[in-house]
Amino acid sequence: MPPENPVRIYAPDGTVGTARRSLAASPSTLAGRRIAVLDNGKPGAAFILEELAGNLSRRTQSEFVGVFAKGSAATPCEDDLFQDLVGRADIILTGTAD
Amino acid sequence: MSKWMDKMLGAVEAADAATSVAGVAPEDVALCDIPGAPALGAESASITPEIVIDDASPEQLIETFAARGWGDGLPLVAPTEERVEAMLAAGCEAQDPDEIIAVLPPRQGQATRRLLAVNAVLAGCPNGLLPVLVSTVRALAEPQINLRGVNATTHPVAPLTIVHGDAVEALGFNAGLGTFGPGNRANATLGRAIRLAMLHIAGARPGEGDASTQGQPSKYAYCIAENQKESPWESYPRAVGIEAASAVTVHCGENPHNFHDMENEAPSAILDKAASVMATLGSNNAPVSSAEFFIIFGPEHAATIAAAGWTRRDVQSYLFERARLTAGEFRRAFDVVQYRPWLADLRDDEAMPITDHPDQIRVLVAGGPGKHSCVIPSWGMTKSVTQPVEP
């Protein structure tokens, strides 16, 4: 049964100002790929991510190319560092939070 | 190898070729603030009232919103076309309602006057507050606020909005007794509308766009007004170079930390208590030397300090000198810091200021009778913004 007194209201979230993007397809194998770590600046992040990258490279025959740190945990990765990483690596491991 | 590491590596190896993050669909990721994602570049965004509910009862509305992940958990006012138009007509009638005035991260939501009017209606704002809300959101989008970090961090940070000038009286804000507290519609609903804009437009929902470990009460509403009538100093906007009949300041920080002094006539004795609140290892000001403090004096403390001839600058200078711990205490507490280089040259036994410049100690007056004032520490990697109220 339709409502007796329907009310029409606005949604509160509106539209999004960034083009929707799909994730890039994952490589079928990591063998021969270059892996870098983007240290998010939190205590312990570089240690955990470097361990992860090292283990991953050994198990998949990929190459670990190093750890790179952004300026602060509280700010986005700088554009020049991001572009540098894109040239150095096929896969970048990073994390967020603490 | 630890179990979690083994599990993580196993997940990576097992990941489907079309999905590089196990369990996360591409369309979910696409709504996030992805570095390098192209901005749409649109100048306007129109919305229409497309949701039909059976009735506008509080029960129906809150259930409808909760089912969609909207709202702050409190009852809402239905944003009908009539109410939204009335909100727009009270102060923003000469502006384009669909102009994008800010893009709010992490969701990158497009804030228009109409969309902000929707959130103002939901919050219970009286007509007339929309220009202040628009100005506040415009300020929040300034790069130095670092809204992406403010909204997404594990820290409990919330934006404090301070209303200045003619708008305080004209729109009924409470700059006096209990300015941080309940009981005034303008303070309460503007603060709530800002939070609803963060939840809905910016996507700062706990667990999605807001990782705050514990949150804090000021994430519901956090709005006060400068008590210029009882301030011995020039208005805060004028002190930071803003000449406008009305203005708003946004500072992203913690809840207020009270200090009281009922005994002293000497400014130094009152300010030593403020300094002791500032010089703590627990706030983000401790590892980030560029972070600001807001010191909100009750009128009685301000009058006592000014009666002794102290200017706002004197207050800033004194607090800079007194709000210190030894450099060794800071060094033992933190592995990761953002300090100016000169601080690194202090010996462990030397007194190190909790902020690296007196200008980062922001001083103004709000509140009513009584011997209480407060310190509002910062989230850290953010700077306050003051802007004129413009619709």
Q: Which of residues 8-37 of A touch B (CB under 8 A)?
A: 8-28
Please answer yes or no on whether B13 and A74 come within 8 Å at the CB atom.
Answer: no
Q: What counts of helices (H) and strands (E) characterise chain A?
A: 2, 4
- Closest CA relative to residue A14, chosen from B170, B104, B340: B104
- Closest CA relative to residue B76, chosen from B195, B173, B182: B195
Give the model's pLDDT for residue B13: 58
Q: How far apart are CA B255 and CA B278, in angstroms?
A: 13
How many percent of chain B have pLDDT more than 90?
87
Residues 6+ apart with CB under 8 A from B250: B136, B139, B140, B145, B159, B160, B161, B162, B384, B385, B386
Range in A75-84, B16-25, B41-50 the model is least confident about? B16-25
**What is the token pair recorded at B42?**
């649109």
CB B376 within 8 A of CB B293: yes
Between β-strands B109-112 and B100-104, what pairing exists: parallel, antiparallel or unpaired? antiparallel
pLDDT tens string B312-346: 999 999 999 999 999 999 999 998 899 999 999 99
| Phi–psi pair at B99, nearest 5 degrees | -65, 135
pLDDT tens string B339-374: 999 999 999 999 999 999 999 999 999 999 999 999
Q: Give the H/E segment covering residue B293.
A: strand B293-297
Give the model's pLDDT for residue B24: 42
Taking the Cβ of residue A42 and every Cβ of chain B, the question of whether any pair is shorter than 8 Å is answered with yes
Q: Give the H/E segment covering residue B247.
A: strand B246-253
Q: How far apart are CA B117 and CA B42, in angstroms?
A: 20
Please answer yes or no on whether B53 and A6 come within 8 Å at the CB atom.
Answer: yes
Global pTM value: 0.91
Confidence of residue B55 (pLDDT cuts 50, 70, 90): confident
Q: Is it the case that residue B105 has pLDDT exceeding 60? A: yes
pLDDT tens string B215-270: 999 999 999 999 999 999 999 999 999 999 999 999 999 999 999 999 999 999 99
Q: Is it the case that residue B11 has pLDDT exceeding 70? A: no
Q: How far apart are CA B283 and CA B281, in angstroms?
A: 6
What sign does the dihedral B264-B377-B199-B193 (CA atoms) show?
A: positive
Please answer yes or no on whether B118 and A12 come within 8 Å at the CB atom.
Answer: yes
Q: Is it the case that residue B19 has pLDDT exceeding 60? A: no
In sequence order, which ranges of chain A are alpha helices (DSSP H)? 45-60, 79-88
Q: What is the mean pLDDT of each run of 10 residues along chain A (98 residues)?
A: 84 88 80 94 86 93 94 88 93 81
Q: Give the H/E segment covering residue B14.
A: helix B3-14
Chain mean position to CA B263:
33
Distances (CA, A) of A41 to A36, A37, A56, B154: 15, 11, 21, 14
Q: How far apart are CA B249 and CA A88, in angstroms?
A: 43
Which residue of B21, B30, B201 is in closest CB contact with A13?
B201
- Closest CA relative to residue B225, chosen from B193, B260, B249: B249
Cis check for the bond before B106: say yes or no (omega within 30 of 0).
yes
Q: Is it the case that residue B5 has pLDDT exceeding 80? A: no
Residue that the structure tokens 């004197």 belong to: B314
Average pLDDT over residues B84-88: 98
Please, what is the average pLDDT of chain B? 92
Q: Give the H/E segment covering residue B147.
A: helix B147-152
Please answer yes or no on whether B122 and A15 come within 8 Å at the CB atom.
Answer: no
Give the model's pLDDT for residue B39: 75
pLDDT tens string B26-41: 444 444 555 556 677 7
Distances (CA, A) of B58 to B62, B76, B166: 6, 7, 34
Which residue of B49, B154, B211 is in closest CB contact with A8?
B49
Give the model's pLDDT for residue A76: 85
Give the model's pLDDT for residue B191: 98
Q: Residues A74, A77, A78, A79: what is their CA dihedral angle, to the nearest 10 degrees?
A: -150
- Tell me the chain B residues in contact with residue A20 when contact means C-beta distances shorter than 8 Å: 27, 30-31
Give the model's pLDDT for residue B35: 57
Which residue of A14, A18, A43 is in closest CB contact with B201?
A14
pLDDT tens string B149-191: 999 999 999 999 999 999 999 999 999 999 999 999 999 999 9
Picking from B338, B340, B382 by the largest number of A CB atoms within 10 A of its own CB, the best residue to mutate is B338
- Closest CA relative to residue B378, chosen from B293, B300, B316: B293
- Tell me the chain B residues in contact with residue A72 when contact means C-beta distances shorter than 8 Å: 338, 381
Distances (CA, A) of B375 to A93, B257, B306, B361: 39, 5, 18, 10
CB B368 within 8 A of CB B296: no
Picking from B34, B133, B157 by the largest number of A CB atoms within 10 A of its own CB, the best residue to mutate is B34
Residue that the structure tokens 């700010």 belong to: A75
Give the model's pLDDT for residue A25: 79
Highest mean pLDDT of the ranges A19-33, B45-59, B292-306: B292-306
- Closest CA relative to residue B132, chosen from B246, B220, B245, B243: B246
DSSP notation for B43-68: SB------EEES---HHHHHHHHHHT
**What is the token pair recorded at A38?**
């983007």
Return the number of CB contacts < 8 Å for A and B.
170
Picking from B2, B9, B103 by the largest number of A CB atoms within 10 A of its own CB, the best residue to mutate is B9
Please answer yes or no on whether B26 and A22 come within 8 Å at the CB atom.
Answer: yes
Q: How far apart are CA B209 and CA B152, in angstroms?
A: 5
Give the model's pLDDT for residue B30: 44
In sequence order, which ranges of B205-307 are alpha helices (DSSP H)? 236-239, 267-278, 299-307
